[in-house]
Amino acid sequence: MKHILLLFAFVAFVATAVQSQIPVELFELLDDKDTTNLYFGADKNPEFPGGYEKLVRFYQNNLYYPTSARIDGSEGTVYVMFIVELNGKLTNIKATNSISKDIDKSAERLIKRMPKWIPGEQDGNPVRVLHVQPVTYKLE
């Protein structure tokens, strides 16, 4: 019986740890290493206010393509990670890959300009969620 209880406690611990497990490469980029109650995926993921259409419109109105990147012909997708806090504020904004220094900074600036998001939820309660948002730069 003692072994069954220990096994159950271990399984419950592992299930909790896996549920909020953050990939090592993203964890290393976090300024704030406090991952207490931080999820990478939740029952309900955070959302840009107004949904996908509003997000696309925000990109159209606010995305800046740096002149240096245009001249160099730099294109690609920057993945910007950030934490959506309990109140919807975006923190720990950082590009996870690099296209060029100027494009990376432009993508981070775009995310910093976003309004508060609708926070993610776990078991019906708001939670902090680590989110990765793609920002694509393409010359036409």
pLDDT in tens, the chain (140 residues): 333 333 333 333 333 333 344 555 565 666 665 666 788 888 999 999 999 999 999 999 999 999 999 999 999 999 999 999 999 999 999 999 999 999 999 999 999 999 999 999 999 999 999 999 999 999 98
Residue 8 located in a structural domain: no
Query: For the purposes of burial, counting CB atoms within 10 Å of the CB of 9, is it exposed (0-12), middle (13-18) or buried (19 or more)?
Result: exposed
Is residue 129 a part of any domain in this protein? yes
Q: Which range of residues forms the domain containing residue 69?
A: 23-137
Is 79 within the bounds of a domain?
A: yes
Whose structure tokens read 């740890």? 17
pLDDT for residue 41: 83
Domain count, the chain: 1
Residue 102: inside a domain:
yes
Structure tokens at 115: 């309004």
In a domain, 58, yes or no: yes
The predicted structure's pLDDT at residue 16: 36
pTM of the model: 0.76
